[in-house]
Chains A and B, each alone.
Chain A
Amino acid sequence: MAGEKEIRSKIASVKNMQKITSAMEKVAASKIRKAQRQMEASRPYAERIRRVVGHLAYANSESKHPFLNEREVRRVGYIVISTDRGLCGGLNANLFKTMIGEIADWREKNVAVDLVLVGAKAVAFFRRMGGSVLGTATHLGDKPSVNDLIGSIKIMLDAYEDGKIDQLYVVHNEFVNSMTQTPRVLQLLPAKGLASDEASLQEHWDYIYEPEASELLDHVLMRYIESQVYRAAVENFACEMAAKMVAMKSATDNAGEIIDGLQLQYNKARQAAITQEISEIVGGAAAVSG
């Protein structure tokens, strides 16, 4: 059995760890509220613009914007949104598992996959895994801003316009509730089949465009992609905080259990030492008096 002193120092170090994990849990719990608010605020815009673009796909204009056209798929692009920091349970691992499944599916169909990675964890993972990475964006902080994402979005849009990729997806964690987050794959381009009220849109019609249609469509579709990716980043951040809170809570609980176990061991060791001492004294006294 380990000595008393060793056990005592072990208990002290586990207690320190417990302090840290419980502090991290509290930090995550306070951040999650802000993150959730941010996420909810970004939702209406993202949903409405998705609906507008869904309508757009049904307009019978003379010139279809390339972002709306479906074409034969030879290469696809994925924007993978992960967290910058770890210690958030299986959040990133689940996301990457989904992503690897997607890549495998496309490979079966002989379609190559290009990646743009957001978040340091995705960068580290795909550096090990391999894969064609076109761009990365890391360290978005607590408040992801559209400006931080624009660069990586542009890489994908340029690739799409040049015909290097034929479809564009974004992969991120969906915030179901603070206990559950699930990976989600969302198609961004071509923007087709997004409107829920499709039935009413079947007739022959077109928009009145002000100003020029092509210019306007560029603007709308650009905003559309930006808002979708931004929303994904914000939602993923809320997921990170929720997952971190849960992970840190269970880490704190586990640390408590370990401390209890060690404490028991310590008491036993102490008692054994005392018992031994007494029996030595008694033995010694018996030898003297005998």
Chain B
Amino acid sequence: MATIQVDIVSAEGEIHSGEAVMVFAPASMGEVGIAPRHAPMLTTLKPGEVRVQDADGKEETFYITGGMLEVQPKLVTVLADTALRGDQLDEAAALAAQQSAEKALEGAADETDVARAQAELAEARARYRAAQKLKGKR
């Protein structure tokens, strides 16, 4: 089966590097699925999860808080702002973050505060969703 090299890095270090048959990523204009020999693409990423399927059908999930994605026919590079391996995700912490973001949104006064709170909320939600999904799988 054709495979594609996937590199996921964040500012804190290398997260994942390996061959895959399919990669899903939360692009800013909707989720994208990338198979080998995909056309070159460059996009920003929203907070969410990156899923990597390898040739054995195993799937690994990485949580990112946003970043960039570059696709070359044989190479996918995810430049994450921060990335977490799926199993590092703590559901309780994620929920707490979501709640505090919601609270911040309620109390937010001016526009920049609202924008920031919304971004935080989106991030917290994505984190929570990813954690829940993972829990279901285990």
Stretch at the interface among B5-13, B49-57, B101-109, B120-128: B5-13
Q: Quick check: B77 and A207 within 8 Å, CB to CB?
A: no
CB-contact partner of B29 in A146, A211, A227, under 8 A: A211
Q: Give min CB distance, A153 to chain B, whole Å.
A: 15
B7 touches A48 (CB 8 A): yes
Task: List residues 45-92 of chain B with CB under 8 A from any CB of chain A.
Answer: 68, 70, 72, 77, 79
Supposing A40-B13, A210-B28 touch, asked if A216 and B70 sit within 8 A by C-beta, the answer is no
Q: Are A44 and B29 in contact (CB under 8 A)?
A: no
A199 at the interface (CB under 8 A from B): no
Residue B40, interface by CB 8 Å: yes
B39 contacts which chain A residues (CB < 8 A)? 208
Contact residues in A for B79 (Cβ distance below 8 Å): 45, 48-49, 52, 223
- Closest chain B CB from A118 CB (angstroms): 19
User: Which B residues touch A219, using CB under 8 A?
Assistant: 44, 68
**Is the pair A207, B68 in contact by a Cβ cutoff of 8 Å?**
no
Contact yes or no, B40 A207, CB < 8 A = yes
Main secondary structure of the interface of A (DSSP, over half): helix
- CB 8 Å contact bits of B24-53 with A (1 = contact, 0 = none): 000111000000000111111000000000
Task: State whether the Cβ of B113 lies closer than 8 Å to any Cβ in chain A.
Answer: no
Which of chain A's residues has its CB closest to B68's CB? Answer: A220
Q: What is the interface residue range for chain B against chain A?
A: 20 to 34
Q: Which of B14, B42, B44, B68 has the most CB of A within 10 A?
A: B42
Asked whether any CB of chain B lies closer than 8 Å to the CB of A158, the reply is no
Which residues of chain A (78-94) have a CB below 8 Å from chain B? none
Asked whether any CB of chain B lies closer than 8 Å to the CB of A172, the reply is no
Would you call B28 and A207 a contact (CB within 8 A)?
no
Instruction: For chain A, give the interface size range.
Output: 20 to 34
B44 touches A207 (CB 8 A): no
Which residue in B7, B13, B72 is a CB contact (below 8 Å) of A41? B13
Name the residue on A nearest B74 (C-beta): A200
The residue on B at minimum CB distance from A47 is B9
**Other-chain residue from B12, B27, B42, B72 in contact with A220 (beta carbon distance below 8 A):** B42
Given A40-B13, A45-B9, A216-B43, decide whether A210 and B27 contact each other with a Cβ distance below 8 A. Answer: yes
A79 to B7, CA, bound (A): 29
Residue among A40, A41, A56 with the most chain B CB within 10 A? A41
* List of A residues within 8 angstroms of B13 by Cβ: 40-41, 44-45
Instruction: Give the residues in chain A near B40, CB-CB below 8 Å.
Output: 55, 59, 205-208
Q: B11 contacts which chain A residues (CB < 8 A)? A: 41-42, 45, 146, 227, 230
**B-contacting residues of A (Cβ < 8 Å)?**
40-42, 44-45, 48-49, 51-52, 55-56, 59, 146, 205-211, 216, 219-220, 223, 227, 230
- 13 inter-chain pairs at a CB distance below 8 angstroms, sorted by A residue, are A41-B13, A42-B11, A44-B14, A45-B11, A48-B7, A48-B77, A49-B79, A52-B77, A206-B40, A208-B39, A211-B44, A219-B44, A220-B68
| B interface residue numbers (CB < 8 A to A) | 7, 9-14, 27-29, 39-44, 68, 70, 72, 77, 79
